[in-house]
Chain A
Amino acid sequence: MRKIDFRLNGVPVSIETQLNRRLLDVLHEDFELIGVKEGCGEGECGACAVLIDHEVVNSCSIPIANCLGKDIVTIEGFSNTSRYKILKNAFEEEGAVQCGFCTPGMMIAAESLLNKNSNPTIEEIKIGLSGNLCRCTGYNMIIKAIKRAAKEGDGKW
């Protein structure tokens, strides 16, 4: 057991826990942030995606030990931003949400991409989403949503 301090959704937090717990479980069980979902437990599906230092990572593949001093943002934290509102609107306009299980992960992956590349091509969007599996939508509407958000982003990224 050890105390791990990090920033969670903009706020400094501290947790005393076993170092070999997955970040996903610490977020979902201890912090009750249900926006991280477990789809596969092996780093393939991206449903557990969060931002660490503003880059998308799979929280099922990160031990809490590696979170010491990091800046972690989940969909709950991201949903308070104006960038979220643009992305959300784009997702809704394009019909990019069906069962919703992959959706928070897709939003996180989208933010990670747009933060580095504010006007990505379709190919770059596909690469940006390549670690997020969706079984419902066939991806096209999600890709179009991100293209739309980039266009309507109005300098936000």
Chain B
Amino acid sequence: MVKQVIPKNLSEVLELISKEKYRFVAGGTDMLIQNHNLKTLPIDFKDNIIYIADLQELRGITEDAEFVTIGACEPLEAIMENKLTPKILKDTIIQMASPAIRHIGTIGGNIGNASPAGDLLVPLYILNAIIEVQSLRGTRNILISDFITHVRRIDLKEDEIITKIIVSKINFDKTDFVKVGPRLSDAISKLSFLGAVTFHEGKILDLRFAFGAVNITVVRRPDIECQYIHKTKEELKNSVDEIAEKYSEYIRPIDDQRSNKEYRKTVALNLLRNFIEEL
């Protein structure tokens, strides 16, 4: 019989996880499906569980001069409705799942799940989100691209818990998040794409691209992006084939019950090209 705890505060959580292995249930939308049991039977959790959804220390959205800090257990819909939330996060959340799931699914849950098809991860990679984790040993801050190491694998030690997500208050001139699912809502992505660009005096100041569900983690290549800084819009458009070629190497999708490699790769590159051509 697994242990199940509803903790009173974050301290209690840190104590518990310092002694024994626990898995966290935030909103539950992923955990309940992954541990699905037959109708009327209790959820078939295989590990000890701590229910963290209502821990106030993990809720809330605050800001300072440079950053917006989001509590790990803040639900997606609440994040979307908050005026502090960066636009590209809002643009992504509205296309995710359904209102019912957005009301209880959390940002921390999405990150902890580290699904390669996780839509929210894409804008977080663009924003160079920092994941704050806590343990009795202290606090660690990790860049999201370092935090997510593989399909459903994160750099979280057994005595740590995700507490905050910190994103910079950056604005872009133009952003476009495209989720390609099998239908127009309530669906797991076949792939997704986010482009973001800022110009200054006709030249590119900031250029970022990220692709979801086409590799084991979100594809973001700052090494390719930086090659086009200071180029003009025209120069960028003229380089569209070259850019697609560069990204092609990193877009390595799979065949599964939802789609196939050929489709995912072709469409991912179509979206990249379209973003550039539409500037």
Number of A residues, CB within 8 Å of B: 39
A-B contact count (CB 8 A): 107
- For the complex, what is the distance from the CA of A126 to the CA of B32, rounded to whole Å? 26
Number of B residues, CB within 8 Å of A: 32
- For the complex, what is the distance from the CA of A49 to the CA of B98, rounded to whole Å? 12
Q: Is the CB of A21 within 8 A of B42?
A: yes
Main secondary structure of the interface of B (DSSP, over half): loop
Kindly specify which of A40-48, A77-85, A145-153 makes contact with the partner chain.
Answer: A40-48
Q: Is the CB of B6 within 8 A of A2?
A: yes
Main secondary structure of the interface of A (DSSP, over half): mixed
Q: Quick check: is A118 within 8 A (CB to CB) of the other chain? A: no
Are A57 and B104 also in contact (CB < 8 A) when A63-B28, A63-B43, A65-B51 are? yes
Q: Is the CB of B99 within 8 A of A65?
A: no
- For the complex, what is the distance from the CA of A29 to the CA of B94, rounded to whole Å? 34
Are A57 and B100 also in contact (CB < 8 A) when A22-B43, A38-B39 are? yes
Q: Quick check: is B185 within 8 A (CB to CB) of the other chain? A: yes
> What is the distance, in angstroms, from B222's C-beta to the closest C-beta of chain A?
34
Other A-B contacts than A19-B51, A46-B100, 9 sampled, CB-CB below 8 A, are A25-B40, A38-B39, A58-B101, A60-B32, A62-B27, A65-B51, A66-B53, A68-B6, A69-B54
CB-based closest 8 A-B pairs: A131-B98, A130-B185, A65-B51, A19-B4, A131-B100, A55-B103, A20-B43, A20-B42
